[in-house]
Amino acid sequence: MTKRSPFRYFKTSPEVIRLAVMMYIRFPLSLRNVEDLLHERGIDISHEAVRFWWNRFGPMFAAEIRRNRASRMRAHSNWRWHLDEVFVKINGETHYLWRAVDHEGEVLESYVTKRRDRKAALKFIRKSMKRYGNPAVIVTDKLRSYGAAMKVIGNASRQETGRWQNNRAENSHLPFRRRERAMLRFQQMRSLQKFVAVHSSIHNHFNQERHLYSRTNFKLNRAAALAEWRQLGVA
């Protein structure tokens, strides 16, 4: 049975929709910035169309990217995870954004909670393991909630803590912080959870770590990532 195209009810071409979603999620641009940049390319759309498209297709694109990543990770058991949390303001109230990052620097899971206790840490770790399997080592800071949650799971022997060991997870917050400032923060916990899940997957897809490659290899990797992006949602 042929899979139905998710773009079948839209007059705008899938190429334009993918481009608008990529620009809004990947770069620190507002909805109106994306509208203006597309207008310079001869594409006349409203900023409200960009809002609708990223809400409709962003989670779908991110889920497809995550499935491909999870299937590759489950084939290996020697992964090293880095866990960290950072506070985020929602309408003046402090919430916590938990992140799991692998040893290659890719964000595996993002989870928003109102508290930073054992219950929140346990739910976050279980959610990550359900999708990506059980890692060989989990590196955390010295927050006690991690140790308490790891004891419940039975992974206490795999936990590592130490000064500067968790810099990879802490650095993973920087792209989100830049994007958060451009969006003038968030108004709802649900909208924050939705955006960080989409943003982390799309950032992973296009993050080529260009300082590790020659210019020639970087251009090849970038072209491959863009070609894969253009195939997302294809029936």
Domain positions in the chain: 1-75+194-235, 78-187
Following CA atoms 99, 102, 104, 109 in sequence, which dihedral angle do they give, to the nearest 10 degrees? -40
Residues 43 and 106: their CA atoms lie apart, in Å, by 33
When pLDDT is cut at 50, 70 and 90, the band that residue 181 belongs to is confident
Give the confidence band of 209 by pLDDT, cuts at 50, 70, 90: confident
Alpha helix positions (H), the chain: 14-26, 31-40, 47-73, 118-132, 144-153, 167-171, 173-182, 189-206, 215-229
Q: What is the pLDDT of residues 80-97, one digit of tens each?
A: 899 999 999 998 899 999
Position with higher pLDDT, 208 vs 25: 25
pTM: 0.86
Higher pLDDT, 164 or 42: 42
Q: How far apart are CA 176 and CA 87, in angstroms?
A: 12
pLDDT reading at 187 higher than 90 = no
- Name the residue with tokens 């924050």: 192
pLDDT reading at 158 higher than 80? yes
Predicted confidence band of residue 57 (pLDDT cuts 50, 70, 90): very high
pLDDT band at 44 (very low <50, low <70, confident <90, very high): very high
- The residue-averaged pLDDT of 107-129 equals 94
Residue 114 pLDDT: 94
Looking at residue 235, its pLDDT comes to 60
User: What confidence tier does 162 reach under pLDDT thresholds 50, 70, 90?
Assistant: confident
Is the predicted pLDDT of residue 219 greater than 70, yes or no?
Answer: yes
Is the pLDDT at 144 greater than 90? The verdict is yes
State the average pLDDT over residues 90-114: 91
By the 8 A CB rule, do 233 and 64 touch? yes
**Coil, strand or helix at 181:** helix
| Spatial separation of the C-alpha atoms in residues 116 and 83, rounded to whole Å | 13
> What confidence score (pLDDT) does residue 37 get?
96
Distance CA 143, CA 118 (A): 10
| Per-residue confidence band for 159, with pLDDT thresholds at 50, 70 and 90 | very high
The highest-level CATH class for domain 78-187 is alpha beta
Kindly tell me if the per-residue pLDDT of 74 is higher than 70: no
